[in-house]
Amino acid sequence: MKNIFKNIIALIIFGIAIFVFRDSLLKSYLILQDKYFPCTRTISYSLGTVDPQFGISKEDFLNAIKESEDMWETAVNKDLFVYKESGGELVINLVYDKRQENTQILKNINNGLQDNQSSYNDLKNEVDTLKREFETKKSIFESKVISLRNRQGTYSPENITELNRLQTELNDYIKRINSLVVKVNNRASSFNNQAKEYNTVGSELGDEFEEGLYHSDKNGKYIDIYQFENKQKLTRVFMHELGHALYLEHVDNSDAIMYRLNTGVSLMPTIDDINALRAHCGLVKAK
């Protein structure tokens, strides 16, 4: 009788423990299921923190996720993810930090570089035009010096006036050209300084996939996005991190979504990406 009573107490305690820790146990179970029995169910996701400093709407943010989701699902013809308004097991956060701040700084510097480059080109073209006009005026002046001289090697008062006028024009061209050359050099110096600043800030970002991070623990699974330049870059980062959420590892192809460095530009998974996912899902590799 005592043993029966003890067993009942143990079952009650066990039941209470399961009830209390049911969420953590379920999350741990789902993580193990996805790892050892991949692609057998859809992974639900919801939005967590979305920092407004990024200036992106919730709709655009979700569209980028959906586009990334579709790319992977098309590769294996399976539903791998599903969006839930709340309570998704995969929580996606948009976290503003130094990385995005540097990205905005780079955008501003790049805009300044483009403006400087445009202004430099305009000034340089103006200098070149004035130089050509100067050479034409100079040739005219030199011809006049010869043609207007009389047999005694002197000039009439009218011819002297004409030569002085032409000389004044040449001097004016020289002043205008020299003034523009100073502006051209200042633009070039400004451009070089901005380029150095761009390279300095850019080196802080690096090439690694630090724009986002997938991580999981006993409390669940998360994707934190820290930096993106535009919608295309955001979608590419999502694809990479969703790949990790599917337990894909990095591949060696530098063009691949799952390459360890963020050097590619295409949003289409490469054959290496597709085969990595198909192998993980236990499907025949694509050719």
Per-residue pLDDT tens for 45-92? Answer: 999 988 898 889 889 999 999 999 999 999 888 899 999 999 998 999
User: Which of 212, 285, 284 is CA-nearest to residue 61?
Assistant: 212
Would residue 130 be called left, alpha or beta, if left means φ above 0 and alpha means ψ between -120 and 50 degrees?
alpha
Report, in angstroms and rounded to the nearest whole number, the Rg of the chain calculated over CA atoms.
35
Per-residue pLDDT tens for 184-198? Answer: 788 777 777 766 765
- What is residue 224's three-state secondary structure? strand
**For residues 229 and 175, which has the higher predicted lDDT (pLDDT)?**
175
Q: What is the pLDDT of residue 18?
A: 44
Residue 82: enclosing H or E segment and its boundaries?
strand 81-83
Residue pair 247/79 in contact (Cβ under 8 Å)? The answer is no
Which residues partner with 45 through β-bridges?
83, 90
Q: What is the pLDDT of residue 105?
A: 59
